[in-house]
Amino acid sequence: MIDYEASDRSTSEGQAYALLRAVLINDPATFALTLNWSENNLQGQAAGKRTDSLWAWKWGRKEDGNWGVIDSNFASDGDIDAITALILVVEYEATSQYAMLYAAMQVVKPAIAQELLNRLGRVSRLHCI
């Protein structure tokens, strides 16, 4: 999913919405294409190696003219929607149950860990005041 009205960019939220819609209209081909594209293009990487399981929130044409991740921060709303789509696929399509559940867990674990770290940081700052 590319937003041609917003500088030809894509976002993790847009990809997650596409996954949700593919599940809702029972379109496994679009679901698989979207998930594959997202995993290959939005995955956190450094020096060609995967750094985490979160998707970068913004992808598009970079200043050098190449296509790729523009902003590597993650968007938790996109992560939650992608997780929801993966869980729904498990519910609707038992044959892909283990693969999709594994993919969901790869996204869920780091997102939860990061949120816990963020909350712990806020709590410790509050106690110092």
**Which residues does the annotation mark as catalytic?**
13, 77
Nearest to 50 by CA among 11, 93, 96, 107: 107
In whole angstroms, what is the distance from residue 74 CA to residue 98 CA?
25
Crossing angle of the two packed helices 76-92 and 97-128, in degrees rounded to 10:
150
Indicate the burial class of 28 (C-beta count within 10 angstroms; 0-12, 13-18, 19 or more): middle
